[in-house]
């Protein structure tokens, strides 16, 4: 079945190539396509294009299909082109000609636009939840290890004293900025394209404001040409936000790989979280972090892949957009899995508690000694030269105490302030309002 069927057959080779992976990927969109249809036909009834009795027949059938899709039991049958065709086919098989009315005023173009927006909203919410879990783990580890010192590095050279509290806390705060970027992507996503049809609107008296309200969108993509142009652009913006999270996670994974090596020995994974070698019996490899790093590098490449498909297209719809789904739809699960396993591994990771007693890190206290002398009245530049001379002559030692008190330093991590910022950002998404609107829609009849 094809929604565009005109009574002639398409060559099987052409059909296979043009359908591509749509039937497989569209199963991910099934709950959202059905929900969008529920909103659309509710609006059609309001504007007089469906009778109330017809709506009362259609909505329960769609609600049952929606539950089936959420349970992972929805199937696109052989010979059915995509999710849009399958839903209409099932309604028509059950309700006869009434099922053929649900496409009034729509195109598959605005259907898939809507499906992708709804899918993205759910995906962003899921990622925010997993980011929140990792943030909590990092903050807990930061507080737990705030008094355990470790060397800090610049240029991979020993630089100044740091702490595990500072290190864990740095990645927690990085997730705050990633959440800010996700919030921007959410705002772009949470606008309704339904009613733009094939990109030029419809002569049907559609009420686009009503479907916006029914689906819990913040507002409309008003201009119908732009609504169609937003396909690809929206996915790239969301993918860029996911890539921001992936960048933080990948960098953390690299640190963990480096710090877990014998040459550093800063952290250690429990044996159960490592893998081995088929030839070297002593090996305990941090494959979990290496794979996180690789996955995150792949996610980081996705925005550019999407841009390369869409960058040279004029206004209007083109089938090129179909390939974007293959890149975009799997990103949420891939990043979500990385966040889950990172939260687990970071929570189980052990830290070394007496690193700074090692003579290799003695020079990391040079700035502390400079500042100690400045506190006694020595001009900074003179104190710097004195300590430098002592280092050259191999007679440097630091006998003082670390005393970092300013905001965000070893002695004042500001974890509570960072947590407050994270909570404020999380609440700005307004997920509850979306759930409320969609729950009302599903229970209208």
Q: Which residues are tagged catalytic? A: 155, 277
Q: Characterize 313-348 residue by residue with b for buried, 16 or more Cβ atoms within 10 angstroms of its Cβ, and e for exposed.
A: eeeebeeebbbbbebbbebbebbbebbebbbebbee
51: alpha, beta or left? (left if phi > 0; alpha if psi -120 to 50): beta
User: Is 409 in a helix, a strand, or coil?
Assistant: strand
Cα distance between the two ends of the chain? 29
| Residue showing tokens 């050279």 | 157
Take residue 300 and report the two structure tokens written for it.
């980081």
| Contact criterion met (CB below 8 Å) for 51 and 215 | no
Give the list of residues 6+ apart from residue 401 with CB closer than 8 angstroms, or none: none
Whether the CB-CB separation of 32 and 114 falls below 8 Å is answered with: yes
Find the angle CA(89)-CA(95)-CA(97) to the nearest 5 degrees. 75
């Amino acid at each position: 079945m094809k929604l565009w069927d005109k009574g002639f057959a398409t060559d099987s080779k052409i059909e296979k190539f043009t359908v591509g992976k749509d039937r497989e990927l569209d199963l991910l969109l099934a709950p959202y396509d059905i929900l969008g249809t529920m909103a659309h036909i509710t609006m059609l009834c309001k504007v007089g294009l469906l009778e109330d009795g017809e709506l009362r027949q259609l909505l329960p059938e769609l609600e049952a299909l929606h539950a089936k899709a959420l349970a992972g039991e929805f199937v696109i049958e052989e010979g059915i082109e995509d999710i849009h065709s399958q839903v209409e086919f099932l309604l028509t098989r059950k309700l006869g000609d009434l099922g053929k009315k649900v496409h009034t005023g729509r195109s598959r173009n605005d259907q898939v636009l809507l499906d992708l927006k709804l899918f993205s909203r759910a995906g962003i919410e899921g990622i925010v939840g997993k980011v929140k879990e990792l943030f909590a783990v990092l903050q807990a580890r930061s507080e737990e290890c705030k008094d355990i010192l470790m060397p800090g590095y610049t240029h991979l050279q020993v630089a100044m004293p740091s702490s595990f509290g500072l290190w864990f806390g740095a990645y927690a705060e990085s997730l705050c900025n990633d959440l800010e970027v996700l919030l921007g992507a959410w705002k772009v996503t949470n606008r309704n394209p339904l009613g733009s049809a094939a990109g030029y609107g419809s002569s049907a008296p559609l009420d686009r404001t009503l479907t916006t309200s029914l689906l819990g969108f913040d507002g409309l993509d008003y201009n119908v040409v732009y609504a169609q142009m937003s396909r690809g652009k929206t996915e790239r913006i969301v993918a860029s936000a996911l890539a921001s999270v992936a960048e933080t996670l990948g960098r953390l994974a690299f640190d963990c790989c480096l710090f877990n090596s014998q040459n550093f020995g800063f952290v250690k994974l429990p044996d159960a979280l490592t893998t081995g070698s088929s030839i070297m019996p002593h090996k305990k490899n941090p494959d979990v972090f290496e794979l996180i790093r690789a996955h995150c590098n792949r996610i980081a490449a996705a925005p550019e892949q999407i841009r390369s498909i869409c960058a040279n297209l004029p206004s209007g719809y083109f089938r090129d957009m179909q390939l974007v789904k293959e890149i975009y739809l799997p990103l949420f699960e891939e990043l979500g899995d990385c966040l889950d396993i990172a939260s687990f591994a970071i929570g189980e990771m052990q830290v070394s508690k007496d690193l700074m007693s090692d003579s290799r890190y003695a020079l990391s206290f040079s700035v502390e000694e400079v500042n100690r002398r400045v506190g006694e009245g020595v001009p900074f530049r003179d104190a710097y030269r004195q300590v430098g001379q002592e280092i050259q002559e191999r007679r440097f030692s630091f006998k003082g105490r670390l005393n970092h008190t300013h905001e965000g330093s070893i002695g004042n991590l500001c974890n509570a302030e960072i947590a407050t910022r994270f909570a404020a950002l999380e609440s700005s998404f307004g997920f509850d309002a979306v759930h409320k609107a969609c729950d009302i829609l599903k229970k209208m009849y």
